[in-house]
Amino acid sequence: MPTAFRLSAFLPYRLAVLSERVSRRLAVEYERSHDLSVAEWRVLAHLSRCGAVSVRDIHDCVNLEKPRVSRAVSRLESQGLVTKAPVDRDGRLLAISLTPSGRAILDDIVPKAHSVERRLREAVSPEDLATFFSVMERWHAVLDDDPDARPRSRMDVEGLDAPEAPDPATSGLPG
């Protein structure tokens, strides 16, 4: 028996669909030009911002499951875009860092990503965008208070003290 529930009107579903559409649109740019996956792009972007870090650090900051991060790092290493270096004496903890080739790919992709972001931002007024960011922060606050919700990474909250939405020209890499 059908119910009145409409998935297309369900807020979590609508947010997921929008997020996936934006992510897939960005993926067109880095897949076409550099054959990178979403996970690989996020790893490169994170390393660009943070320098040498562990797979665990990347996992905690890029909203991807650890096995997906590990596969992305392995593929990036095989392409010469990142390197792994032992951090401790027994070699179990590895620091992942960008190579010059990895940096060059990011230097090519970031302007294209900013262009996609700029088109989205220009579709709404600055006031609406500020309201949108404010609403997102309120929803994050609800989830921050929910013991069953996954916490946000520190990377997701850095720079959010500013009252208005970040400017893509000065905010660094897009998510």
Q: What pLDDT, on a 0 to 100 scale, did the predictor assign at position 151?
A: 86
Residue 18 lies in a domain: yes
Domain range for residue 22?
7-124
**Based on the number of CB atoms within 10 Å of its own CB, is 100 exposed (0-12), middle (13-18) or buried (19 or more)?**
exposed
Our measurement of the distance from residue 45's CA atom to the centroid of its chain's CA atoms, rounded to an integer in Å, reads 8
Residue 119 lies in a domain: yes
CA separation for the pair 122, 120 (Å, rounded): 6
Residue 97 lies in a domain: yes
Q: What pLDDT, on a 0 to 100 scale, did the predictor assign at position 172?
A: 47
Q: What pLDDT, on a 0 to 100 scale, did the predictor assign at position 19?
A: 93
Tens-digit pLDDT profile for residues 108-134 = 999 999 999 999 999 999 999 999 999
Max intra-chain CA distance, the chain: 62
Residue 64 lies in a domain: yes
If you average pLDDT over every residue of the chain, what do you get? Answer: 87
Q: What pLDDT, on a 0 to 100 scale, did the predictor assign at position 165?
A: 45
Q: What pLDDT, on a 0 to 100 scale, did the predictor assign at position 49?
A: 86
Q: What pLDDT, on a 0 to 100 scale, did the predictor assign at position 103?
A: 96
Going from the C-alpha of 15 to that of each of 7, 56, 125, the distances in angstroms are 11, 27, 20
Tens-digit pLDDT profile for residues 27-36 = 998 999 999 9
Task: Give pTM, 2 decimals.
Answer: 0.79
Which spans in the chain are helix H? 11-34, 38-50, 55-61, 66-78, 100-122, 126-144, 154-157
Give the tokens for residue 110. 């970031």
Q: What pLDDT, on a 0 to 100 scale, did the predictor assign at position 98?
A: 95
CA separation for the pair 5, 19 (Å, rounded): 22
Q: What pLDDT, on a 0 to 100 scale, did the predictor assign at position 171?
A: 47
CA separation for the pair 152, 143 (Å, rounded): 9
Q: What pLDDT, on a 0 to 100 scale, did the predictor assign at position 160?
A: 63
The CATH number of whichever domain residue 56 belongs to comes to 1.10.10.10
Structural domains in the chain (count): 1
Residue 85 lies in a domain: yes
Residues of the chain with pLDDT under 70: 91, 159-175
Q: What pLDDT, on a 0 to 100 scale, did the predictor assign at position 31?
A: 92
